[in-house]
Structures are given as C-alpha cells and as structure tokens.
A = this chain, B = another copy of it.
Amino acid sequence: MAGYVYDFSAGNKDMKDLLGGKGANLAEMTNLGLPVPPGFTITTEACRSYLASGDVPPELRVEVTMAVRRLEDALGRRLGDFHEPLLVSVRSGAKFSMPGMMDTVLNIGLNDASVQGLAQYSDDERFAWDSYRRLIQMFGKTVLGIDGDLFADALDKAKAARGVTSDVDLSASDLQTLVAQFKAIVLDVSGREFPQHPREQLDLAIVSVFESWNTDRAKMYRRRERIPNDLGTAVNVMSMVFGNLGATSGTGVCFTRDPSTGVAGVYGDYLSNAQGEDVVAGIRNTLTLADFEELDPAAYADLTLAMRRLETHYRDLCDIEFTVERGKLWMLQTRVGKRTAAAAFRIATQLVDEHLITMDEALERVTGAQLSKLMFPQFDFRSEKVLLANGMAASPGAAVGAAVFDSVTAQKWKAEGKDVILVRRETNPDDLGGMIASVGVLTSRGGKTSHAAVVARGMGTTCVVGADDIVVNAVERVFTAGGHMVAEGDTIAIDGSTGEVFLGDVAVVPSPVAHYLEHGLEAAIDAAGDDSEIIDLVEAVDRILTHADSVRRLHVHANADTAEDARRARSLNAQGIGLCRTEHMFLGDRRVMIERVILAVEPAEKQAAFDALLPLQRADFTELLEVMDGLPTTIRLIDPPLHEFLPDHTDLAVKVALAQARGEADEHDLALLAAVQRMREANPMLGLRGVRLGLVIPGLFALQIRAVAEAVAARLLAGGDPHAEIMVPLVASVMELHLVRDQALEIIREVGEEAGVTLHIPVGTMIELPRACLTADRIAEAAEFFSFGTNDLTQTTWGFSRDDVEGAFFDEYTSLGVLAVSPFESVDTRGVGRLIRIAVEEGRKVRPELMIGVCGEHGGDPESIHFFHEAGLDYVSCSPFRVPIARLEAGRAQVAAPGLGSGDSR
C-alpha cells in the first residue's frame, strides 16, 4: 500500500513524516499487540496535495472508501447503521504536536437513524442522544466554524429549564430536544442542514483537519518552534470506544515516570464514566492511578502491562491516553512524553542504570536549552506576583532589585550594597558600568540581539528586553507599565527566562545545578543537605556532562575580557579564552586616554597617549594570563572605530549650538565636536575599524602587541605558563595580515630580547568578512589560526546590521516567513555556513594544522554548535555562562555525527 491511506496495522513509529506522530505511534502500538481500536491514517502527503490544489485528491476518496469498508468488515458494524452502528473519531496528527490545530471530532457516524442503533447497542437511550448532541456541537464548532457559545447557551438554557446544573441530570428526551435545537442552530448559522450522511460527516471532518494546518495559531506556533510550513498534517480515523458507558467505563492519561521530577513509577489520572474531553475539561475531579487500581484491578493490570511494554519498547518516558469500555482497556494514543529539564536529566541516567539506553543515548536525551534552564535561579512559583509587562527573555535568571535609570546611579547604589536593576529605553556602550553593577537589565526596546541582550548574556546577567508596554522616562526617573508607575528605588523583579516583569519583591530559589557547575559535585551534594531529589539531579547532570566532555571533539573556550570573567570561565571548565575584546579595556576612566589619542595633533602627543596606556594594558594582560595559566588565551586587537569612544555627534552638536547661542562655547567641546565631525562615518560598521584602524593609526596595534608580549614575558619570568595568542580583527585581504604580522613578530622579538626570554605568541585572524572566507587559502599563509566572527560575517553576508534591522523588520520578516529564526541567533548555514565551510576547507588545504574556532554569540547556540562540529572546527568560544551548555552540545554533536569534522582533538 503506497497510497494516501494506511491502516494502523500497516505503519510503524518511524513513519512520522508520512503518518504524523499520533498515527505512527498508533501503528506501533497496534503492531505491539496492544489493544488499539482499529482505524486508519490519512497521510500528510494527502494533506499537502489538498493544500496545494485546494481539492481533495480523487484517489483519496477511493482509498477512504476502501479503508472504511475494511474497518466495517473487521468490526462487523457499519457507519450510519440502524443497528449497532460503527462510529469513528477524526483527529489531526502532524509530525510535531502543535496547538491550534483541529483536535478531535468524536462520534462521527451518528445521525437521526443510527442514534437509535446506538441506544440499542449501549442499552442507554440517554447516552445515545448525549453522544449525538456532542457530535453536532463538536462538528458544528470545529468543522462548520459555528460559534461554540450558541451551543453552550442552548445547553445552559435546557439545564435552567429543568432546574439542574449538570449535564448528566438531563434526560434522554431533554437531550433529544437539545439535538433538535442544535440542528436548528447549524441550519441557521451555516445555512445548511447538519449532514445526515456519515460519509459526508467524515469527508468534511477530514478536510477540516487539513485546513486547520493553516490556522493563525498553528502558523504562529510553527514559526516560533521553527517547524517548516510545508509538512502538512495526517488525519487519524479511529473506531469509537466509549468511556462513558457507566461505572465500568472510564478514561485516563498516564506517564511511565513522573514528567515533572523524573522519579520512576507510574503517574496518571483517571475519570470514570467519561470521555477524553471530560478529563481535559476538568468537569469532575480525577482519580489517581492507585484509585483506578482499586476500582478496576483487571483493567489496571492490563494498563501497567501496556505501560511497561511501551517504555521498554520506546526506551523512554511514555505519555499514554486510554479508555476503559465496560472493563476492557483500549489504548488511544501514546508518545514519548514531554518532561521538565530536571526530569530529562534524571530519566536519562535512570534509563542508563536500567540498561535501556547507553550513555551516548542519554546524552542525546537532554539538550543545552534544558541545562540552561537548570542553571539559573528561578522565582518561587508559589509567590504572589504583580505582572507589570511581558518582554523578551534575553538572558535567563531571576533578578530582584531597585529600579535605577542610569549607569552612575547603578554604580553608586551597588557600592552602597544595594541590588539594582538598570532600566533603560535601550543600552549603549556607555551603560556598561551600570550593567556590570546591576543584578538585572530591563529595556523597553530592542530584540534578542540588541546591545543590552548581547552584553547581559555575555556577563550572565538576567535581562529582559523589548518590554514595549513599559514607558521609560529617564529624565523624571520613572517608568510606567500596566497602569503602575515605578519610581527610582522601587523594587521590581524580572524573569530572564520568561520575559516577565513584576512589581515588588518576589522570592527566588537558587539553582543547585549552577552551584554544581561552579563548585563541583561534592560541594553541590553538601549544599543539598538531605534533599535527595537535588542530589539525584546534580549527579545526573554531572554524569551526562562528564560523558559529553569525554566524547566531544570540539573544545570549548570562553569569551572573557577581564580576569574576573576568565576566573568564572575557568571554574566552568572552559579550555581557554577564545576572545578577549581589548576595546573593553579602553572604557571607563581610560576613555579619556583614547580621547587624547584622537585629539592629538602632533605624532609625539599621540605616542605619549599610547605610552600612558601601555602599563595599564600590560597589567590587564598579565592578570588575565595568570588566571588562564596553561591554557590558550586569544587576545583580539582593538576592533571598533575610535569615534565610538567619543560623545554622540548630535548630542554634542546641540550642546555646542546652545552654548554658542548663549555665548559660552567651551574650547574642549569645540575641539571634540570638530574631531567627532571629522571622524564621523555614515556606516561605522563598514568604516575605519579593526585592522584598518591598526594600519592607518601607527602605534595603536604596536602598543597592544607590546603589552601582550611584555605580559607573556613577565609571566614566563614569574614561572608561569602563558599561552597568549594575538588575533587581528576584520581582515579582508592577506596583505593586511602580513603587515600586522610582520610588525607583531618584530615587536615580540624585541620584547623577548629585552626580557631575555624566548616568546612564542601565535598571530592569527578573525574570519568575519565574506572576502576573508573566499580568500582563506591566501590568508592561511599568514595566519596561525582562524576564528570566525559570525556576527560580522552574518551582517556582511546578509547586508544588514543587527543594530538596525532587528527592531525595524525582523518581526515583520518572521511573520512573513522570510526568516524562521534570526541569523544572529542560529548560524545561517545556507549562506554564512557555506562561507565557513569554504574557509575551513581552503584554509586547511594550505595549512593542515590550522587551528580553527568561532567566537561570538553563535559559539554558545546549540544548533550552531552542531553546525560547527560538522564543519570541522576545533573549538567554539562563548560567554562563560554558556560554557557548560556548549560542552553538552559539543558532546551531543559528536554522538549525532561522530564521523564528521576533519580535525583531531586538539
């Protein structure tokens, strides 16, 4: 059978693409001999064909006819029959489960004739009319698109007329009247009779499932979850069994383990004399499975047998829906169950201990995203909270502190011992000091790759961005949101994992996993006291992370600009520093020194400014190398254009113009304005920065190179084992690199001679421009290592800067389907990735031992890490806080694609 329709017995669990998740699992259970009501699945291909042409393919009609015949023959019952009619349910079932799609239409096959047959078969007239009532209601609402309130109102009226409050108190004849009313509603609203022909009911329900693929909610969900738009859904048609045929019937859901904690055992809910929808609707309180055992030990025994069977077969936590009809167990659905992050780690190691899976498989059962969730403190879910606004979750964690509106106040209050949350419309490099001083950062503008988000993630500071309900008034030092006004000093709380912003204090629960990651297993177990769940969790995380470390080929370095960052990175097992941004060393007090360089008229003045910076830079690097003793430490020469260290042009121009209008022009401001005007660039991202700056301003790179070399010499003389590497940014042509490299080798030689030591400091380059990738073979002649700067590479490959486009059109692009995910979040493999592959291949052709890594945001992104593994990189470098995530994902990438990647484990 290779058509549009598969009987449940014809498929298996690996056919999810064609049969959807639900259909594939129904087939699998059928083949396992579990009691699944017979039925068939209409393939996703049929759906795609319908969506493309707008018509049901004629072959599908024929195949459905044949499948229904087979079903009728197998059960000895007929759709629409006056005696013992066959009823079926119709459910959607895509490859990935998805809210917003048509859920279920039950009882298809009932009409004015077969309702009699059902009454006879069930020996329960009330049940038959209630089932018919439910069909019309469900069909009317989901298939015909009639407002559900119309049916609910009619039902309420019927109950009121009878003076009862519960559906079950309505009699058969009440329900019969209600059926007539419901049919009238259908005719009124849709202009057509409720279809009496069962096949027409079935066909309409099938088309309705197809069309539900494209509801707005489904589309939005797919976009968010990055599910392709063109998969389509399958349709499952299953013969009905009834949980609402009295006390010996019922329905339930269960899990083979506890999905919230991971504790082994059997978990679930049961509702007697009910259909599936009643459990979800929460009409009555459900029973536990223990209660169910007491109620119906035989059915319970069958169920536990089926659960064991499924878990052993699926080798994972299973989530099951079942129905008991007059004491007989029917399995309606199973799937690998969703679980919390903690449960994921615990279940994975449990299954290893039960010899169901290997450690490699355990590693595949958890994700970096789950580990990330476990690494941050969370708000106590029991606390009362006042929600102010919802923003984007930019950097996880739970932060509580006093709202402040500028960097200076943040630093001052922090010095006074207060926890502060910096609230800004958006942040810029000037806010760095304030961000460092804050426990959290909140902005009303910007996206996940805005300055605030990127810097906060880099520092591991909780951050919510783009909370656009918040109106920040920095001058008045207040913000308003959700009808509240928050003044400076008022306490707020932000959840960097959900994007929520709360008013007032909220209790925070610290993360035992974070404790383990920073201080090791023993310390974490000590800290847990006798909380065995926490001990179990940190042990599980430790086992899996240790396994990831043992298998992964990719090394994991950290991006760290300061000794403090480096210490944190080391404690999180970073194997080196992949990126130390030296421009961060020119901020704060030292900014004035860059100003001196810029304003210098004579070369001597400029040199004097450089000379003043030398000891400061040397001390920075010496401390860094001391912390990173024995590990590679990649120091990038200054990258941003110098005018970034000067005030904003417009602000300064306005200040000067106003001062001049008052006749009080300030000499320094005038000089500064002239400099800013001279150095202003239309597109700073594409301007005088990186290696260009180094070549055009003699002395700048020389200062930094000398500081690195002197720091290495000092560490060597102190008996250390420094492994500094010098990285040249923004190289487009090998000629640029040759010039810097020649200069660097000369300075390193000089410093070595002065200090009487032999210095080996490799010189390599960022690969962050398309041209660098396209000419990697030439660049490799002059570079001892490559480090992909995927942020800049993404910007130039796509021709947009993240500063400008995220807010302006990424939302629009996502909703139009142009982008599934921001290419600044996960590396764009088709464009940027292709350039990376070219550079890796051609660079290694010239220099086989070329060390190749990536630094920047993508280095800590799970999807991107898998790509980098496959592309054959040697290491990824990411924010210290993402190091454990990268370690885990690098291990997972290795397990997923062990043969890929050309390098040895360097």
Contact = CB atoms under 8 A, between A and B. Distances in A.
Q: Which of A681, A771, A803, A832 is most buried by chain B, counting CB atoms within 10 A of its CB?
A: A771
Nearest to A828: B771
Interface in A823-854: 828, 830-832, 834-835
A816 B686 contact: no
Given A650-B649, A775-B831, A809-B692, A686 B801 contact: yes
A774 interface: yes
A732 interface: yes
A835 B838 CA distance: 12
Given A661-B658, A732-B831, A801 B682 contact: yes
A409 interface: no
A813 interface: yes
A528 B735 CA distance: 52
A733 B733 CA distance: 27
Contacts of A736: 818
A797 interface: yes
A769 interface: yes
A863 to B, nearest CB: 18
A859 interface: no
Contacts of A778: 830
Given A774-B831, A796-B799, A805-B692, A684 B683 contact: yes
Contacts of A818: 695, 733, 735-736, 739
A331 interface: no
Contact of A686 (B661, B695, B696, B804): B804
Contacts of A653: 650, 653-654
Given A685-B682, A687-B808, A771 B800 contact: no
A782 to B, nearest CB: 13
A68 interface: no
Interface in A776-835: 778, 792, 795-801, 803-805, 808-809, 812-813, 816-819, 828, 830-832, 834-835
A801 B684 CA distance: 9
A800 B687 contact: yes
A140 B800 CA distance: 61
Contacts of A804: 681-684, 686-688
Nearest to A802: B686
Contacts of A658: 657-658, 661
A687 to B, nearest CB: 4
Contacts of A649: 650
A223 to B, nearest CB: 13
A813 B834 CA distance: 29
A654 B658 CA distance: 8
Contact of A830 (B654, B775, B800): B775
A730 B774 CA distance: 21
A770 interface: yes
A831 B771 contact: yes
A809 B683 contact: no
Contacts of A831: 732, 770-771, 774-775
Nearest to A769: B799
B803 A682 contact: yes
A695 B775 CA distance: 34
A834 to B, nearest CB: 5
Contact of A774 (B688, B797, B816, B817): B797
Contacts of A686: 683, 685-686, 795, 799-801, 804-805
A584 B683 CA distance: 22
A654 B655 CA distance: 8
Contacts of A797: 769-771, 774, 796
A658 B796 CA distance: 39
Contacts of A683: 682-686, 801, 803-804
A801 B796 CA distance: 11
Interface string A678-702: 0001111111100010011000000
B696 A809 contact: yes
Given A696-B812, A769-B799, 5 more contacts: A649-B650, A661-B661, A682-B684, A735-B819, A771-B830
Q: Which 3 A-B pairs have the closest CB atoms?
A: A771-B831, A686-B801, A687-B804
19 contacts: A650-B653, A654-B654, A657-B658, A681-B803, A681-B808, A682-B803, A682-B804, A684-B804, A686-B801, A688-B804, A696-B808, A730-B799, A732-B799, A732-B831, A735-B817, A770-B770, A770-B799, A770-B831, A796-B797
Interface of A: 649-650, 653-654, 657-658, 661, 681-688, 692, 695-696, 730, 732-733, 735-736, 739, 768-771, 774-775, 778, 792, 795-801, 803-805, 808-809, 812-813, 816-819, 828, 830-832, 834-835
